[in-house]
Amino acid sequence: MMNEMMPTVEETLTAATEAQLEFEREEREREDAERWECEEANHGPLFTITDWSEHCADYEHWLTYGVSPMAEAAMGEQEDHFYADAKKEFGESVR
């Protein structure tokens, strides 16, 4: 088979090539960090630890129930206003 005759990456990797790959990886990471610092300087941090944990909890709630907690709360408030208006109009027997 042709694949058996082809050398693997480990067989062809020299110390110089490995050092070059490591240098390029570190360079990319440094450039990414610099770009991220510029974005955070312009817009502030994307999430604090607290914001991230709240986001994860909201997302888990959405995956479980199909609605976000904020939307669920808003629907509850709308329902409360609806029943409050109905009680004013029709008396306490509503609900």
pLDDT in tens, 43-65: 888 888 899 899 898 888 878 87
| Alpha helices for the chain (secondary structure H) | 2-5, 9-12, 15-43, 49-65, 69-90
33, burial (CB in 10 Å: exposed 0-12, middle 13-18, buried 19+):
exposed
By the 8 A CB rule, do 84 and 94 touch? no
pLDDT in tens, 3-17: 677 777 777 888 999
Domain boundaries, the chain: 1-46, 47-95
Three-state secondary-structure class, residue 6? coil
Alpha carbons 95 and 87: distance in angstroms, whole number: 9
Three-state secondary-structure class, residue 46? coil
